[in-house]
Amino acid sequence: MTDILSASSLTKVYGEGPLAVRALNDVSLAFPRGRFAAILGPSGAGKSAFLHIAGGLDAPTSGSVTVADLKLPFADEEALARIRSEHIGFVFPGENLLPHQTARQNIELPMRLRGEKLDEGWYSSVVRTMGVAGAMDELPARLPRAMQQRVAVARAILGRPAIILADDPAHSLDARASLEIVELLRLCVREFGQTVLMSTQDLAEAALAERVILFSDGGVAGEISDPTPVSILTALEALSLRSGPG
Ligand SMILES: Nc1ncnc2c1ncn2[C@@H]1O[C@H](COP(=O)(O)OP(=O)(O)OP(=O)(O)O)[C@@H](O)[C@H]1O
C-alpha cells in the first residue's frame, strides 16, 4: 500500500531560550492511502502540532512532510496553499464555520475558492450521507453544535481531498454526538476512500479508527492496530508502568 502522507523526523520548537517548548521531538510516521488513523494522547502531547505541520499549516523546526509524493515546500506559502487545497481537507474543533454564510455556502467555499464547478450529484450525496441536507439554508449559529461539526465534515469532504486531517473534531460535544462525528469520518474512509487522520483524547473515539498512535511528550509512545477500548487501555497502562518509578 502506498503512503499518501508521511512525516520524517519532525521536530517543532515553539519560542526560544528558556521559554522554548519542544512540541514535537523527532516524529516519523507514514499513513497509507484509504485508512483511518487516530492520534491519542493527553493535552499538550503534540497532537495538534503534528496535524498542523502534516497539513502544511505550520512549518516544522526540522524534518519534512510528503503529501501525495510532493515534499511540502514550507518556505513557499503559495505552493503550499495549492497542495493543501488540492489534497487536504481540515476539520477543526468546533465553530470554525463562517458565521454570515449559510451551511451550504460554508460547504461550497473551498471549491469556490479553487474556482471549481460544483457537481450537484456529488454535493447531494455528501450532504445526505453527512445528515445535513435539511440544514443547508441555515446560518451556523442557528444549528446545534453537533450539526455544525457535521457541516464542517461535509465541507472537508466536498472537494474530494485524498486526506482529511481532523483535529479533535468532537471537542466539547456530548458522548453520543462525538461518536457520531467519528463514525462520519469512518464513513469517509469506507465510502469515499479517503485517508483520515484524527487527533483525540478520548479512548472510545480512538477505538473507532483502524490504527491508534499514542502520543506522549511530543513523541510516538506506541501503536495499536485494529484497536478496541480494552487493547488501547492495556497499551496505555503498559506505558504508564514503563515511565513510572523503577
Ligand atoms: N503557538 C504556540 N506557541 C507556544 N507553544 C505552543 C504553541 N502551540 C502549541 N504549543 C505548545 O506545544 C505543546 C504541544 O501542543 P499541542 O497543541 O500540539 O498539544 P495537543 O496534544 O494537541 O493538546 P490538546 O489535546 O490540548 O489540543 C504544548 O506544550 C503547547 O503548550
Q: Which residue from 68, 108, 69 is spatially nearest to 88, judged by alpha carbons? A: 68
Judged against a pLDDT cut of 60, whether residue 245 lies above it is answered with no
Dihedrals φ, ψ of 186, to 5°?
-60, -40
Question: pTM for this structure?
Answer: 0.92
Across the beta sheet with 163-167, the strand order is 88-91, 163-167, 195-200, 36-40, 211-216, 219-225
Question: CATH class for domain 3-96+161-242?
Answer: alpha beta
Q: Which residue from 99, 49, 53, 94 is spatially nearest to 72, judged by alpha carbons? A: 53
Task: For the chain, give every domain's residue range.
Answer: 3-96+161-242
Judged against a pLDDT cut of 80, whether residue 83 lies above it is answered with yes
Ligand 1: atom nearest CA of 24 is 14
Judged against a pLDDT cut of 80, whether residue 242 lies above it is answered with no
Give pLDDT tens digits for 95-133. Answer: 589 999 999 999 998 888 888 888 899 899 889 888 899
Among protein residues, the one with the nearest Cα to ligand 1's atom 13 is 23
Q: At what angle do helices 145-158 and 175-192 cross, to 10 degrees?
A: 20
| CA–CA separation, 71 and 175 (whole Å) | 38
Residue 98 is placed in which grid cell? 463562517
Among protein residues, the one with the nearest Cα to ligand 1's atom 26 is 43
ipTM summary value: 0.96
